[in-house]
Amino acid sequence: MTAQHRLLTLSLLLLGCLATSRATLVVTGTTYTVKLVEGREGEPKYVLSRQYLDVLECSMYASDSSKLVDPKIDWKIEGSNDTLDSRFSFSGRLSEDKKNFTSTLSVRRPENKHVTNYTCTGSATDQPEAQGRARLQSKPLISFKIDGVTMSDVGAWPGQDIQMSCIVEGNPAGSPEWKREKDGATIGNGTANLVLEAVNYDEHRGFYTCSANNSQGTNAAKIFLRVKHPQAYLTPMIIIIVEVIIIAIIVVVYEYFMYKKHKQAEAEGEAYKTD
């Protein structure tokens, strides 16, 4: 082997060593359980307890504990390609020894849909990207939608068909179960939409409960179906009839007095002429 050969083999070995010892990034995220509080009367039964959440973190370090150069962590909602909107903010800090970088995610006015899984993609100069995940979890969060509008009280005329949807959010996901409060009967299981055909006052008016379970516990909320009484149109009709009668009386009385005044004036005119 010539000296040149030896040198070449050595450099190849060295390169090989460098390549195999190249560090990878390790990214890990935290899990936080959101506490729920009961809403005010008429609001969905459970709302997020905080107006501001800054509880999720992702940390990153190099597997060979080398220093991180220009470290960066990008957050996304898992399963979505969208960048996070302006209600989210991030702050990163690099440890003093520059070996550990931590990013904190903050959410202003979180909505139910934000209680979910997040992915964080870590990168640093000369390092391949790596992913980790952080989770916001809670009991099932329950709300109701009628024709796409969130409500907890719905009015209906007798004979009308009604579809109420139970929206279960929170993390992990849960599956809805519908119950009629009147007799506790289960009228839907594993299905968001409850369809009631030709509703009537006696049978369908009342509260309906939607509940769901997940690993964090169970939760339930109520919606009131306000089927109007079949005679509900009577009151407005009576009011209208009374109004019409009062107007008619006023008109008749007014006309009568105008007529009398006219007659009187005529009579006085006659009297003047004969004077």
Ligand X SMILES: *[C@@H]1O[C@H](CO)[C@@H](O)[C@H](O)[C@H]1NC(C)=O
**Given 23, 160, 172, 216, the residue binding ligand X (CB under 6 A):** 172
C-beta of 160 vs 216, nearer to ligand X: 216
**Given 173, 242, 244, 246, the residue binding ligand X (CB under 6 A):** 173
171 binds ligand X (CB under 6 A): yes
C-beta of 80 vs 235, nearer to ligand X: 80
- Residues 116 and 76 sit within 8 Å (Cβ to Cβ): no
Token digits of residue 274: 């004969």
* Residues of span 234-273 touching ligand X by CB under 6 A: none
How far apart, in whole angstroms, are the C-alpha atoms of residue 172 and residue 98?
35
How far apart, in whole angstroms, are the C-alpha atoms of residue 273 and residue 49?
91
**Given 44, 59, 73, 154, the residue binding ligand X (CB under 6 A):** 59
How far apart, in whole angstroms, are the C-alpha atoms of residue 231 and residue 241?
16
C-beta of 9 vs 189, nearer to ligand X: 189
**Given 104, 143, 162, 177, the residue binding ligand X (CB under 6 A):** 177
For the CB of residue 231, give the shortest distance to ligand X in the complex, in Å.
36
C-beta of 100 vs 131, nearer to ligand X: 100
**Given 66, 117, 200, 216, the residue binding ligand X (CB under 6 A):** 117
How far apart, in whole angstroms, are the C-alpha atoms of residue 215 and residue 45?
20
212 binds ligand X (CB under 6 A): yes
Token digits of residue 112: 């139910």
- Residues 170 and 137 sit within 8 Å (Cβ to Cβ): yes
186 binds ligand X (CB under 6 A): yes
Alpha helices in the chain (DSSP H): 3-20, 201-204, 234-274
The residue whose two tokens read 């506790």 is: 184
Question: Per the omega criterion (within 30 degrees of 0), is the bond before 172 cis?
Answer: yes
62 binds ligand X (CB under 6 A): no
219 binds ligand X (CB under 6 A): no
Give which of 165, 224, 152 is closest to 193, Cα–Cα: 165
Q: Which residues bind ligand X (CB under 6 A)?
A: 59, 61, 79-81, 100, 102, 116-117, 135, 171-173, 177, 186, 189-190, 211-213, 218
